[in-house]
Amino acid sequence: MGSVHAAALSFDLHIPASRSLKTKRAAIRPIVDGIRHRFRVSVAEVDHQNTWQRAAIAVAVVGGTESQVRAVLDEIERFVVAQPDIELLDIETAWLESERA
C-alpha cells in the first residue's frame, strides 16, 4: 500500500454584518458548498452554530503525497480568505500521522 497523507484545516470566522442565524448561514453556506464542490473534500461547520457572527469551518484533505495535500490546503485557504464580508480570525492545520508496517 502506498503512503497516505491527510490533514484537517480549520477556520475561525467572523461575519460582522450578520444580525441573525439566518443571515449568518446565508454567508457561510456558499463557502462550505464552494469548498465541497470546487476541491472535492469533506467540509462542515463545526462550532459556533448558534452564534450570529461567528463560525468555525473544518476541512479534511487526503492525498498520495504531502505536497499534493499542502497544495490543496493552500488553495482552500486562498478561497476562504477571498470571500467577501468574512473576517478570518484564525487558521489551524492538523496532520494525521500514519504508521507504516
Q: For residue range 45-66, what is the model confidence (pLDDT) as tens digits?
A: 998 888 899 999 999 999 989 9
Widest Cα–Cα separation across the chain:
53
pTM assigned to the model: 0.86
pLDDT digits 0-9 by tens, 57-97 = 999 999 989 999 999 999 999 999 999 989 999 999 999 87
Residue 101 has a pLDDT of: 46
Q: Residue 101: helix, strand or coil by DSSP?
A: coil
Residue 95 has a pLDDT of: 94
- Calculate mean pLDDT across residues 14-21: 92
Question: In the beta sheet, which residues pair with residue 88?
Answer: 13
**Domain-by-domain residue ranges, the chain?**
5-96
CATH of domain 5-96: 3.30.70.1120
